[in-house]
């Protein structure tokens, strides 16, 4: 089992951590954490992925913060480095929001983004 990173790929606001804890506590099956990743697709090129994970993958990067365990897809680490995950509610919608310093563009529908991965030297400097 991989240990937590020496650097934090992603952080959570208290609102995001509270919502993740709430959802996990209502799960009918035990969960290892929330898996975060990115995939190709959408009009801007990429989109964020979130899946409840019953097991931790052998290469997942683990971030534990505010009582929440995030499992970061290893292919997404360089795209997510420095990201803050938030949970926002308004009168018409609610959902998780990614404040990603590596994001260079977003589509009008809000479903996809363009992300430039950080360089290896930036990761090692943290």
Domain ranges of the chain: 10-125
Provide the residue-wise pLDDT of the chain in tens; the chain has 126 residues: 444 445 689 999 999 999 999 999 999 999 999 999 999 877 767 888 999 999 999 999 999 999 999 999 999 999 999 999 999 998 988 999 999 998 887 776 666 667 877 765 555 555
Which DSSP symbol is given to 4?
Answer: B
Superfamily for the 10-125 domain: HesB-like domain (2.60.300.12)
Spell out a b/e string for 35-55, using b for 16 or more CB atoms within 10 Å of the CB, else e: bbbbeeebebebbbeeeebee
Q: How many residues are given for the chain?
A: 126
Tokens matching residue 110: 């809000």
Question: pTM of the prediction?
Answer: 0.80
């Amino acid at each position: 089992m991989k240990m937590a990173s020496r650097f934090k790929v992603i952080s959570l606001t208290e609102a995001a951590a509270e919502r993740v804890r709430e959802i996990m506590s209502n799960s009918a099956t035990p969960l290892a954490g929330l898996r975060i990743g990115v995939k190709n697709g959408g009009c801007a090129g990429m989109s964020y992925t979130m899946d409840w994970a019953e097991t931790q993958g052998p290469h997942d990067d683990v971030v534990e913060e505010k009582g929440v365990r995030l499992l970061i897809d290893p292919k997404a680490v360089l795209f997510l480095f420095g990201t803050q995950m938030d949970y926002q509610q308004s009168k018409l919608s609610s959902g998780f929001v990614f404040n990603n310093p590596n994001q260079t563009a977003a589509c009008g529908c809000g479903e996809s983004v363009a992300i430039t991965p950080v360089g290896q030297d930036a990761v090692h400097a943290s």
